[in-house]
Amino acid sequence: MMRTHRFALLLFSFCLLFFGCAKKTVSLEEIALSGEWDTLLQASQRDFSRTYQRSALYYQALAQYMKGDSAQALASLELYLALSEGEQPSLGARTLIVATASNRGKPELVIEHAKALAEQDALQIPSAQAWYRALVETGQGDEANRVFLTHLRSTLDEVQYAQLLVESKASGPQLKQAFAHLSLQQVFELLRLASVQNGEVDWMTDVLALAREYEQLEMTQSQRKLLYALLAQLSAKAEQRVLANKYTTLAESI
């Protein structure tokens, strides 16, 4: 949800910069800035049915995205691109494409439009983070490192960097190095985040192995109970049922 709000702020700024010159678009812009997403969706759909202008599709997609329907938002944006006829997408549209494609597991689309935003000097932090995640997901480690060093390094603290790695499903060694600088409570929060990711079994197995290393540390009973509960969740995600049962029992015994 926080990621959605960050993208929304960027999209509103692009509304002001790039869509304020056409009267019909100003009306849609004003609705967008009011946050009335149902009204914006209806108005943009009516506008598009009359004019078939791609700008209406941008607002339609924005409303759908902000209402939590990334699938429909991406479909609207794909139609937007199809109607472009060689004309470049607006910066606002590219930013929204990055956001929706990231949510829908379309890393190639994220990479294409985030790169274009960077070339136009319009890449903002949420889009850069989505770009980084997409590059890691597609195995483009060198390019991911370049994007991180160029666009993200100076913007993230240690916790934010570790969170980005978890969201990117980075390798076990990368996670271990990042976690080494964090407090136990911060590590637990990130392990909780990892446990709800839709990661491959191999990645979950790597996270589980890292999490099990914390069993050797001294901690309070409440912290150990939490660790065992997290280990049970990670074990289940890694399809290791025996371990999941073991850690569930240990958590319940404290």
Cα angle 16, 19, 23 (rounded to 5 degrees) comes to 115
pLDDT tens profile 118-175: 999 999 999 999 999 999 889 898 999 999 999 998 999 999 999 999 998 989 999 9
Looking at residue 21, what is its pLDDT?
39
pLDDT tens profile 200-229: 899 999 999 999 999 999 999 999 999 999
What pTM was estimated for this model as a whole? 0.77
Mean pLDDT of all residues in the chain? 90
Looking at residue 159, what is its pLDDT?
96
CATH of 2-155, one of 1.25.40.10, 1.10.3720.10, 3.40.640.10, 3.60.15.10: 1.25.40.10
Structure tokens at 147: 């994007």
Cβ partners under 8 Å of residue 152, min gap 6: 125, 128, 129, 132, 164
Domain ranges of the chain: 2-155, 172-253
